[in-house]
């Protein structure tokens, strides 16, 4: 990506053109949430100014326009991730998407949904497999599902670098496995997991595959059908869209057989005083008034990214990730987490400075206008396995520059100088 093109992209993000604590803002916290370009903000504002109405109800013109825009957005997002329109369920975020899925399995285990949902029932003796890398949003829902159904939760461990230890995969994902849930890209390490290996083993034992795609969909070309996963979840706010919108992807034949989680208006065909019949997917999972403007804005974000080109974005971020990793590894006193410098990663690099708490690192950097993430990044088990309680994470995106990475690296070196050597 040329300097001229990157400058044009950055001009779309007004938030980047400001000073923080007397320094130009260096925003390296896109793994937590991305900034929003004016094109996305304009689309959402235009919806409220010209077309605001409830969708899938009402016979007036505004209702028809709003419904058309809402469903067009679904089609756009479906194309962006290699899915069909009826395989995209709107949620408020990825956390809700994963909980929706877990509760649908739970409801099926209670006998809800009849014979069509029998394939999703879990009982004692069944197993749910997750990895030691997981964000809490892809761990706790499965902990709760195991507790409700009597299933056993099993773990794919990580090695000392945080990489998945796959040598004993056949003894972990066994014929008892019903669900295998794992992250595509670690939100802490930036490492890219071998989806094909995990899917192949899951298919061999007949387990459903659930992919946490929060850190992959915004940063690389994704085709869920080609990846051969059954379900996936991602959030809009990490890919230039507003907060309040996320997606559950599910293969259509599975979604249509699953019982709903939330119930109420908009997801039914008929209701009597005794029972209700539900619409097919995706509407059966979209009870109540929907997040219309956010869905439309998510589609605008997908169009914005597509216009740049996801392959080019991935290449740009990989270069920034390598610069981050190599620069951190070269600073005495810094422990780079995850893959060694020079190994494939997205634009994420987390690190620990022994004796200096991540909150102190983050505060020192913030005093210089540098925004990073500190803490356990909603991944306490992974940090515990790595022998630390917290870390500092820098995460780049399409609008990030090499110059910003260099300012950050200089700030890290100055942090160590300021606090002095620690044991």
Domains of the chain (ranges, CATH numbers): 3-30+309-419 (3.90.1150.10), 43-307 (3.40.640.10)
Distance CA 401, CA 385 (A): 32
Whose tokens are 């700030």? That residue is: 411
- Would you state the pLDDT for residue 421? 62
Q: Do strands 391-395 and 348-353 pair parallel, antiparallel, or not at all (unpaired)? A: antiparallel
> What is the reported pLDDT for 115?
86
Alpha carbons 310 and 217: distance in angstroms, whole number: 9
CB 336 within 8 A of CB 162: no
Burial of 163 (0-12, 13-18, 19+ CB in 10 A): middle
Q: What's the burial of 4, exposed, middle or buried (CB within 10 Å: 0-12/13-18/19+)?
A: exposed
* Separation between Cα atoms, residue 174 and residue 231, nearest integer Å: 20
Q: What are the residue numbers of the active site?
A: 378
Q: What's the pLDDT at 340?
A: 84
Can you read off the two tokens belonging to residue 295? 């869905």
* CA neighbor of 382 nearest in space, from 395, 393, 391, 370: 391
Q: How far apart are CA 423 and CA 421, in angstroms?
A: 7
Residue whose token pair is 């991730």: 81
77: which 2 tokens? Answer: 């997002």
This prediction has a pTM of: 0.96
**Cβ-based neighbour number of residue 83 at 10 Å:** 23
Q: Report the Cα 386 to chain-centroid distance in Å.
A: 22
- Under-70 pLDDT residues of the chain: 421-423
Task: State the pLDDT at residue 422.
Answer: 58
CA gap 297, 295 in Å, rounded: 5
| Dist. CA 216–CA 202, nearest whole Å | 20
Instruction: Report how far residue 347's alpha carbon sits from residue 403's, in angstroms, rounded to the nearest whole number.
Output: 14
């Amino acid at each position: 990506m040329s300097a001229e093109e990157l400058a044009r992209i950055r001009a779309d993000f007004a938030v980047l053109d400001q000073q923080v604590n007397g320094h130009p803002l260096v925003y390296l916290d896109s793994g937590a949430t991305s900034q929003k370009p004016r094109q996305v903000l304009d689309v959402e504002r235009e919806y409220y100014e010209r077309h605001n109405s409830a969708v899938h109800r009402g016979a007036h013109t505004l209702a028809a326009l709003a419904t058309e825009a809402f469903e067009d957005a679904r089609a756009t997002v479906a194309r962006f991730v290699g899915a069909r329109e009826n395989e995209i369920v709107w949620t408020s975020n990825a956390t809700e998407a994963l909980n929706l899925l877990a509760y649908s399995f739970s409801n099926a285990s209670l006998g809800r949904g009849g014979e069509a949902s029998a394939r999703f029932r879990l009982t004692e003796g069944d197993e749910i497999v997750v990895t030691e890398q997981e964000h809490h949003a892809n761990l706790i829902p499965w902990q709760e599902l195991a507790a409700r159904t009597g299933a056993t939760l099993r773990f794919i461990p990580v090695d000392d670098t945080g990489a998945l230890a796959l040598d004993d995969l056949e003894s972990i994902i066994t014929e008892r496995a019903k669900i295998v849930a794992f992250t595509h890209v670690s939100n802490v390490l930036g490492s890219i997991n071998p989806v094909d290996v995990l899917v192949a083993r899951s298919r061999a034992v007949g387990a459903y595959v659930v992919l946490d795609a929060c850190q992959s969909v915004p940063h690389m070309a994704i085709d869920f059908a080609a990846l051969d996963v059954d379900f996936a979840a991602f959030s809009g706010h990490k890919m230039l869209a507003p907060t309040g919108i996320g997606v559950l992807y599910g293969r259509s034949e599975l979604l249509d057989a699953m019982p709903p989680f939330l119930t109420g208006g908009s997801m039914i065909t008929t209701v009597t005083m005794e029972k209700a019949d539900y619409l097919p997917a995706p509407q059966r999972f979209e009870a109540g008034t929907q997040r219309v403007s956010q869905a439309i804005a998510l589609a605008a974000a997908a169009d914005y990214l597509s216009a740049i080109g996801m392959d080019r974005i991935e290449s740009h971020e990989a270069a920034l990730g390598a610069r981050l990793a190599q620069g951190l590894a070269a600073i005495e006193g810094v422990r780079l987490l995850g893959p060694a410098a020079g190994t494939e990663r997205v634009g994420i690099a987390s690190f620990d400075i022994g004796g200096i708490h991540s909150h102190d690192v983050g505060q020192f950097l913030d005093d210089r206008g540098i925004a990073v993430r500190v803490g356990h990044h909603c991944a306490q088990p992974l940090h515990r396995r790595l022998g630390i309680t917290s870390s500092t994470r820098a995460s780049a995106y399409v609008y990030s520059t090499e110059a910003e990475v260099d300012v950050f690296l200089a700030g890290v070196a100055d942090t160590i100088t300021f606090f002095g050597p620690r044991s």
